[in-house]
Amino acid sequence: MQITAVKTFLVEGIKYNWTLVKVETDTGLHGWGEGTNWPGSPLVEAACRHVGERIIGLDPRRIDFVWTKFYRDMHWMGQAGPLLSAISAIDIALWDIKGK
């Protein structure tokens, strides 16, 4: 099983916006994750796209490996704010896939 796409969806709410992430695989399975519900949602959406490009082709069941890759590739960008929200959203989506 391989990740084929990471798609982001910015959902506008009354008070806050929501950033949702859909991770798709070559087997047809997909998982959903939530990045944030705060006013910085557009930044989280952009970070999800940036981070998502780096996991295409990886096995979504190897969650620890994906996290290690995120840390190695992205630690210089900081470990808080929009980047951490993006990584968390993708992590949730990977666990959703693994649970299915």
Give dist(CA 34, CA 2) in Å, integer.
21
Q: What is the pLDDT, as a whole number, of residue 31?
A: 98
Per-residue model confidence as pLDDT tens digits over 21-62: 999 999 999 999 998 767 667 788 888 888 888 899 999 999
d(CA 21, CA 36): 10
pLDDT given at position 50: 84
Q: At what angle do helices 63-74 and 81-99 cross, to 10 degrees?
A: 160
d(CA 3, CA 52): 10
Which runs of consecutive H residues, i.e. helices, occur in 15-80? 41-52, 63-74
Q: What domains does the chain contain, in order, with CATH numbers?
A: 3-99 (3.30.390.10)
Q: Are 39 and 17 in contact (CB under 8 A)?
A: yes
